[in-house]
Chain A
């Protein structure tokens, strides 16, 4: 059941990306182009999502476990650090270069064409790079200690 609900949640999420227009990188770039002919549509995507989230999350977050019995895995970090800000800035540059963030890239893999795949594979390599660097750092730290 957990697997089915994860699949259905992904499906609804993906359909939302398509309906909203976010799966089209040129529409995303139209939103990010404040100085050109600006398309404010994506502000409505985030607005709609956050209003629904803000209405539902307080009730959902209070639960001790999910409906299917998982412990609730909510982020606990509160520190505003350099990693958070630099990571966000780095992601934003990539987002602005191609108009793709992770969700829409996934949602256009099955739509045909090689370009979404090239972006997706490069993104996986970027994520793998992070894993490699973090593991190397962890090893060095444990050796030093």
Chain B
């Protein structure tokens, strides 16, 4: 294993992580809900009375965040290597998988681990493992 020192950003990543953790804890404190992105978006596909507006507001906050960031300083690049067909396959798998597994990197990885949920430990281990294996196959076996 070699470390990619050129792209390694421990402090920025730690600061961003603290912001994500803070946002999750504050959301639970003020709104009483878990900031799990796949659950919040997925819930919009089975709309229930009084359960829609907060979801849209939270999603809108994330969507406009780069505009706010960009007003203050240069946005970091978004470099998408995947082709369009690959993005479609990846999107479908992420959509189906996060709903069946009841969560994604935020719901299980941040909120669940913070609460010490065993289910989230298992789910996080599963998606990290699958992510590592997938990239290994894509880059070092097929690539």
- Interface residues of A, Cβ cutoff 8 Å to B: 2-27, 29-30, 32-42, 44-54, 56-57, 60-61, 63, 65-68, 70-75, 77-80, 83-103, 105-111, 113, 115-116, 118-131
- Interface residues of B, Cβ cutoff 8 Å to A: 1-4, 7-10, 12-35, 37-38, 41-42, 45-46, 53-55, 57-69, 75-82, 84, 86-102, 104-106, 108-119, 122-136, 138-140
Which residue of B has the minimal Cβ distance to A36?
B139
Q: Please, how many angstroms separate the alpha-carbon atoms of A33 and B31 in the complex?
A: 37
Query: Could you say which of A11, A66, A119 contacts B87, with CB atoms under 8 Å apart?
Result: A119
Determine whether the beta carbon of B66 is less than 8 Å from that of A108: yes
Which residue of B has the minimal Cβ distance to A135?
B46
Q: Please, how many angstroms separate the alpha-carbon atoms of A57 and B68 in the complex?
A: 28
- Chain B contacts for A2, CB-based, 8 A: 30-31, 54
Determine whether the beta carbon of A92 is less than 8 Å from that of B63: no
Distance to closest chain A CB from B98 (angstroms): 5
